[in-house]
Structure 1
């Protein structure tokens, strides 16, 4: 095993240990971000380099030495800078026994979420993203209600999970289910303080469930999107039971499909192979576009970049995508596409600094308004995804921050809801 690969695997294992250790003691969203990135940028490629079969398109376009010499140092740079930021936080346990006092506020959040979900389906294109964010308020409220002393309030928490499962089955899209379930578990663990061993068992179980979802998703999605009108739950269980009876992966092609979903490194390697050999470095062009797109609403910038990343993906990988396919370069790939190896490492360090700065900013605000703690999953919802590029991540981060603080201002100034942390009373 080469040095950079070994260092990368050890680093990801350390992040995994740190994430599990933090469960029950904090809300480790940045640790989750680093873990997902490490799994998809380092562990996935590491496995891919050691498999005997190769997908005709989704394979590693450069050799292991060249890839790991960029991916691991860049990942390490981001990780170190993030942890430096986290080290500046004062170790403090939030007053769980006072969270129930915000139950009425949580009910408002749930109501706003459900109403926005309805409006979202008929909202004009420029407002759909805003209503998408507002619709997710119901999950923020559900988490807060989990700490309520009223029994029916806690039922809302579990109802939100059931709703999430139903929506995922109906749309045949499971990304939101996996992420929100992880966030729910963070808050559940913060309340119940599970042991390190129990955290490992639950996370392994979650990983196994995610693997089963990935194994049946393609067949299930095909049937649902072709107009299936029966019970989605029954359909999913039928496909899953057939797959389990014959093994989760029926052949090497399906096994490769599972590896591809873990491995985002093939995209980064394609960028490294194509840029600058065929396509010149962007030199910060995509970064500039992302900053402008996140700073200005679409009605002020009608030509702003559209989330999805198809244009940049095709330009800097040289791979053409189908009309219904959307892929992003990832932050690591975008760093290379703009600045090359060394510049890409600095780019990842700057991104890590920005993440740490936002985290510190939010925790200073949480000292005066504990409600913000429960909005953290929504604010970082797209940010934790390792496959998304800067225009998607930054747009979500900025817009969600603005929306959350506007909502908090509105409820205080207009609805006259004042929430001072209990320990400050």
Structure 2
């Protein structure tokens, strides 16, 4: 019944936008669908572990809502006509939403019950969370000195500190605040060192999604509104300082990056003391363009098949890549999208940046217009099944639910591809499997 109300509300909003604004029918429908997915996120916060809901909203934000703003304000920045682009993007967004919400192999246990079981299991086991944070700190250090061939492994190890935050929080152990502070500090230092803000944003978001479960204060509309305003403000600050920070700490390649904590603090303090800097045209436009995945996806649609033939399903090979260690495959493809952008678009490549054509764009360049729309449905269905498979396993392994953020931390964006999202999930699941097995052999309860 609830979804019927959402559908009716979405149609009504689209009609009102179409009749009361200069937007086209597809633009009105795209804005309306984005608004509905945003409302769904707010509604499910505290009621479910809303990882899939936040993912589909971010996807709509990047491929629908922001492109619609671009068509209204900067139409020359978009590679395709509005109706041609949005007919594909909106259809894909709806099919992605359906794929993530198909009730296939779902657990019937309420999400709150999983958190309650984890809490009960971790009672008087505060050392487990502290131990995970210690392992994660080791991973953070190893990332700095490890060769590229094994660096990805230590990224997964470093995530143990972030998982340990949840273990320590739910165990209610003495000294938990200090342990959590150390883990959060390590994540902040990594952000300072790399100048990459996405991981910090997504982990904080995932912690909020988990901790919100079952807390009465989350269900107050005022709290949710305040949380959105605060989150938007924090994101605006980060986006405002990102370009200037990288300009002063990055070289010409990814290996030439030096952190500067003093500069970071100085830039944040400057923005807080002078909020007008947050809405300066240049940084706002750069951030807007960075989040506008309609540019990369539209460029791929223009380029393929006119200048580059369809890839005819090559993307599906990415499903096997995570199972082949880089140690045994010297030319194993790397994540980041550089090769994809070079092959399927005419956009310029900058060695220091990471952009991609989105999973939906990836579907288009492999299978064409209708094939891409069908592909994104199964893309969503794949991660839908993985999410609920983890929950089913958590019925027997109570703390496994606390690993969900690690499994999906690199999925909460639509700026990537199948290889990145699937590879991160597989690596994290395999690491968790061996971690639990090793703990069992050592008779350690985790």
Residue equivalent to 1:142: 165
Give the aligned partner of residue 112 of structure 1. 135
- Find the counterpart in structure 2 of residue 422 from structure 1: none
Which residue, 21, 27, 33 being the options, matches 2:55? 33
Contact 1:335 1:348 in 2 (8 A): yes
CA distance in 2, matches of 1:8, 1:181: 28
Gap change, CA 1:91 and 1:292, over 3 Å in 2: closer
- The residue aligned with 2:69 is 47
* Structure 1 ranges of 4+ moved more than 6 A: none
2:147 aligned residue (111, 117, 124): 124
Say if 2:132 is the partner of 1:103. no
Match for residue 238 of structure 2 among 200, 213, 224:
213
SS class of match (1:32): helix
Deviations 1:254-305 (A, max 9, x none): 33212113211111010111111111111112332x1232221112322211
- 1:387 Cα offset (Å): 0.2
* Alignment match of 2:313 (pick from 273, 276, 284): 284
2:46 is aligned, of 24, 27, 45, to: 24
Q: 1:293 to 1:53 in 2, by over 3 A?
A: same
1:238 Cα deviation (Å)? 4.7
1:250 aligned onto 2:280: yes
Would the aligned equivalents of 1:62 and 1:273 in 2 still touch at CA under 8 Å? yes
User: What is the RMSD computed on CA atoms of the aligned residues?
Assistant: 2.2
1:31 CA drift (Å): 0.9
1:330 aligned residue: 358
Q: Residue 148 of structure 1 contacts residue 154 of structure 1 at CA under 8 Å; is this kept in 2?
A: no
Does residue 6 of structure 1 match 2:37? no
Q: Give the aligned partner of residue 85 of structure 1.
A: 103
In the alignment, which residue of structure 1 is the partner of 2:382? 354
Q: CA deviation at 1:149?
A: 2.4
Distance in 1 separating the partners of 2:105 and 2:294: 29
Aligned partners of 1:87 and 1:33: how far apart in 2?
20
Distance 2:325 2:44 in 1: 37
In 1, Cα distance between equivalents of 2:34 and 2:75: 25
Question: Of the candidates 370, 383, 407, which is equivalent to residue 342 of structure 1?
Answer: 370
- Residues 298/52 of structure 1: CA separation in 2 closer, same or farther (3 Å cut): closer
Deviations 1:39-91 (A, max 9, x none): 1111110111111475xxxx210011001100111111111121113793314
**1:404 equivalent in alignment to 2:404:** no
Residue 212 of structure 2: SS of its match in structure 1? helix
Distance in structure 2 (CA, Å) of the matches to 1:299 and 1:75 = 37
| Structure 1 residues not aligned, in runs of 5+ | 420-425
2:54–2:412 CA contact under 8 A, matched in 1: yes
2:18: which partner in 1? none
CA distance in 1, matches of 2:44, 2:177: 24
Distance 1:167 1:322 in 2: 22
User: How many residue pairs end up in the alignment?
Assistant: 411
Alignment of 1:225-264 (within 5 A): 225=250, 231-241=262-272, 244=275, 246-251=276-281, 253-264=282-293
How far is the alpha carbon of 1:242 from its aligned partner?
7.0
1:145, distance to aligned residue in structure 2 (A) = 0.8
Query: 2:291 & 2:259 partners in 1: Cα distance?
Result: 28
Change (3 A) 1:78 1:183: same
In 2, the alpha carbon distance for the partners of 1:231 and 1:152 equals 28
How many Å separate the matches in 2 of 1:292 and 1:148? 37
The correspondence for 1:195, drawn from 210, 219, 225, is: 219
Judge conservation of contact 2:92–2:376 (CA < 8 Å) in 1: yes
TM-aligned CA deviation for residue 249 of structure 1: 3.2
Q: Deviations over 1:345-374 (max 9, x none)?
A: 110011111011111211110000121111
For 1:229 and 1:111, how far apart are their aligned partners in 2?
A: 24
Name the CA distance, whole Å, in 2 between partners of 1:4 and 1:230.
45
SS for the counterpart of 1:307 is coil
Task: Say yes or no: does 1:270 pair with 2:295.
Answer: no
CA distance in structure 2 between the partners assigned to 1:87 and 1:416 by the alignment = 32
CA–CA distance in 2 between the matches of 1:180 and 1:356?
20
- Structure 1 contact 24–186 (Cα < 8 Å) conserved: yes
Separation of aligned partners in 1, 2:232 and 2:390:
30
Residue aligned with 1:267, SS: helix
Alignment partner, residue 406 of structure 2? 378
Q: Distance in 2 between matches of 1:256 and 1:5?
A: 21
Partners of 2:74 and 2:325 in 1: how far apart?
Answer: 48
CA shift for structure 1 position 418: 3.9
* C-alpha distance in structure 2 between counterparts of 1:213 and 1:153, whole Å: 28
1:71 to 40, 65, 89: 89
| Residues 33 and 385, structure 1, Cα contact 8 Å, conserved in 2 | yes
Q: CA deviation at 1:393?
A: 1.4
Q: Which moved more, 1:117-126 or 1:261-270?
A: 117-126
